Amino acid sequence: MTARRSLLLALLGGPAWAAAPVDWQGLTEAQWRARLTPAQFQILREQGTEYPFTSPLLGEHRQGVFGCAGCGLGLFSSATKYDSGTGWPSFYAPLPDAVATRPDDSLGMTRTEVHCRRCLGHLGHVFPDGPPPTGLRYCINGLALVFTPSK
């Protein structure tokens, strides 16, 4: 690479292809299948639910951030994680601007579905039986999360 081209790339903040943001809400089913394991795909993209007491993240007690397994957006701080006894990783609050909700009337129940604000991946549900200070229980599939410990 020439010095002139290197300078130009530096001024532009790197090659455009490296800096191009992913259009998370525009990915096709095939692109999601290529990015996720079959189990992750079933949860995140098909509103699945993992079997309770199966997630290794139930026993994750280090400080850190639980991010979206689809797009990597940070979703929950370890500071809000608690043992709900349900068999799914549970939190009493999400990080700011991390998740969104919508009504879910499937399975003959009225529940509130929780999804990633950025990629719209299904995470779980939120219930009004959580601990203080919010009284909310974000009941989240471990397969929808990736944990990054604090440095």
Query: Two tokens at 131?
Result: 């601990």
Region 63-82 residues binding Fe ion, contact defined as CB under 5 A: 68, 70-71, 73
Q: Is 39 strand, coil or helix?
A: helix
- 94 touches Fe ion (CB under 5 A): no
- The DSSP 8-state label assigned to residue 63 in this structure reads S
Contact by Cβ (8 Å): 57, 146: no
Q: How far is CA 56 from the centre of its chain?
A: 16
Closest CB to Fe ion among residues 81, 118: 118
Residue 139 is among the residues annotated as catalytic for this protein:
yes
Binding to Fe ion by residue 124, rule CB under 5 A? no
Among 121, 124, 130, 142, binds Fe ion (CB under 5 A): 121
Q: Which residues bind Fe ion (CB under 5 A)?
A: 68, 70-71, 73, 116, 118-119, 121
